[in-house]
Amino acid sequence: MINKNKVMILNFLMASVFFISCSTTDTPKETPAGETPKGEVKSYDIIVDSKGTGDFTTVQAAINSVVFLKTIETKIYIKNGVYKEKLELAQNKNNITLIGESKENVIFTYDDYASKKNSAGLEIGTSGSASFIVAGNNFKAKNITFENSSGNVGQAVAVRVDGDKVIFDNCKFLGFQDTLYPRASTSRQYYKNCYIEGATDFIFGASTAIFDQCEIFAKTGGSYITAANTPQANPYGFVFLNCKLITNAASKSYYLGRPWGNYARTVFVKCEMAAHIKAEGWHNWSKPEAETTTFYGEYSSTGAGGNTASRVSWSHLLTLEQFTTDYTINAIFKGWIPTL
């Protein structure tokens, strides 16, 4: 009788251990096949759903749940929905990947703008207006729309990026002035198959950023696509590879760029340009001295706005050797090869 009781107790303890081990939250979740492209089933560490079926209902709560200085990737799956949140991926929140259910239906949005006052009565400024601040390293985002919804109210950033080795794949960026802010001079960023929309200076900042096969949509009412602030020590600023420059603006209404900083570096390589691009291409921002310090270049531009015959004399047409040697991803990113 005693031995039988011991066996029953032992069986109970073993079953309890098995149940606990199977219930641990460390096991990646699987999203239903119907919610991923082509019927795939993928595993994620965290699921966000505004309707309450995931681990969190807000994106910020999911980001906050990841420990600082994590050395392995954390995959966060975002279900379709509009997430009105002012988001921040803090410094040392590293190796986080956000994957949206669909680019058109996963929308991160907020409506701050530079001249808006904070609780102390001071303007929050351009950097403070960002709907999403990315300060962590090795961040990835896929299939997500990022928006500043404040409208045409001056400087209003959708995404500000300070972290290094940041990737956006198949994402949209929506705003008016100052939509996308690749901010930090030490930051390398890769945008693949993205759509970026805005008006004046809607891609601006000091980072080294490659835009690969992206659509760059210039809205009516703006005048400049880029405003780089590249530091003198950085050999690259913004590089557009095989992009399409599209618009709903008038013919010859946009410059390719103007120098926020006097050492601005911006190059368009094999890009198709619509008729909104001015024949002269580039503007000196009323700083004649910048004409000798900037590097504005093109290689094999096409389309109605791609005729380089009348470009300003201080811009550059890349040679074949420069194109093949200096404008590879490896050269631009100093050995970092982005992995989607």
- Point out the residues that are catalytic: 178, 201
- Taking the chain, what is the end-to-end CA distance rounded to the nearest angstrom? 63
Alpha-carbon distance of 7 to 172, in angstroms, equals 61
- Which of 180, 166, 179, 215 shows the shortest CA–CA distance to 340? 166
Q: How far is CA 162 from CA 89, 115, 136, 138, in A?
A: 10, 22, 7, 11
Task: Give me the amino acid identity at 193.
Answer: N
Containing H/E element for 210? strand 208-212
Other C-beta atoms closer than 10 Å to the C-beta of 39 total 9
CA distances 242 to 61, 281, 296, 318, Å, are: 37, 18, 17, 15
